[in-house]
Amino acid sequence: MEYRTLGRSGLKVSAIAMGTFSFGGVGGFSKVASQGVNEARRLVDICIDGGVNLFDTANMYSLGRSEEILGEALGEKRNRVLISSKARMRIGDGPNDEGTSRYHLIRECELSLKRLGTDHIDIYFMHEWDGLTPVDEMLSALDTLMQQGKIRYIGCSNYSGWHIMKALGVADAKNLPRFVTQQIHYTLEAREAEYELLPISVDQGLGVMVWSPLAAGLLSGAFTRDRAPAESRQAAGWTEPPIRDEERLWTIVDVLEEIARNRGVSVAQVSLAWTLSRPAVSTLVVGGLSEQQFKENIAAVDLKLGEEELNRLNMASRPAYIYPYWHQHNFARDRFCPGDWALHASHEDVGMV
């Protein structure tokens, strides 16, 4: 296993993290899976044996059941690993059952600790932007939790670029805790993060955790132009991630399959290896339904793609050169910083005048 530093923190995380989205199967999460304690314990042990040291969950996954199952599955192994969890999403019918208010965050953190059976959460994510709660209230509540020893590091998830920069600006201005990481959706199929989120991560020192790095299985090799598993979350009605251009998706899968065939590895391993090669990426949060899937995904860390392979994948998948980036390419590229290159490096062969 490879261990990477999480942003500008001193924390080392495994390049593959275990996602527990499939633990519990309560409510709408039954469309994904409904793994119980015994199954979860077996998969957790496979990941620990493979060197995984980070396990990701959230208070709203199966309405807290995911946290309970993870806590039971880890048992005495808890102090050997890191746990990340999240708050912000609606978890009840009350007026304060969502958001990042001081009331909600402190209450939800304490409930998560009880469900996990632990005295602290190593990385606590704001699961989504909350435009109604003042940013300084959110950060002050997180500071309180850090001072109490209940959380170690903080991060954000599913924020836009200006949301992140606003939070970092308030943190710096008011001497409040700073995000050290962001958890985002980023794959060969979905590269929108390169416009703002990856450049911000490079520039501001945020370690990137990628959720659903195989696009809910669409980049795993199970799906092709002519084949879709009957028992998949898509078939069950799951709509994330949205696919806006199916032809582009299958073109990407075609390239993945050819590279995988030539290298004697799986499509999933090629897809994960590409994502691990990207700027600021610290870890990929990978889920799975079987021991074999986790073993295969963990092995992706050892696959290093060559320049020609990376170029082929880039050409099949790179995002459109939208404004103002094409204009910057014309007139500012001789003064780009490392953050700029997180996007622009993929477009170096684009002819601009």
The pTM (predicted TM-score) of the whole model is 0.94
Residue 27, pLDDT score: 79
Contacts of 101 (CB under 8 A, 6+ apart): 130, 133, 137, 138, 141
Annotated catalytic, 159? Answer: no
152-172 burial: b if 16+ Cβ within 10 Å, else e? bbbbbbbbeeebbeebbebbe
State the sign of the Cα–Cα–Cα–Cα dihedral 11, 15, 20, 21. positive
Look at residue 352 in the predicted model and tell me its pLDDT: 45
Give pLDDT, residue 348.
Answer: 85
Choosing from 61, 124, 153, 186, the catalytic residue is: 61
Ordered mean pLDDT values, 10 residues apiece, the chain (353 residues): 97 98 84 85 97 98 96 96 98 97 98 98 98 98 98 98 98 98 98 98 98 94 77 60 90 97 97 98 94 95 97 96 96 96 88 45
Query: In sequence order, what are the beta bridge partners of 154?
Result: 124
Check residue 44 and give its pLDDT: 97
In angstroms, the CA 152 to CA 43 distance is: 26
CA 326/CA 108 separation, integer angstroms? 44
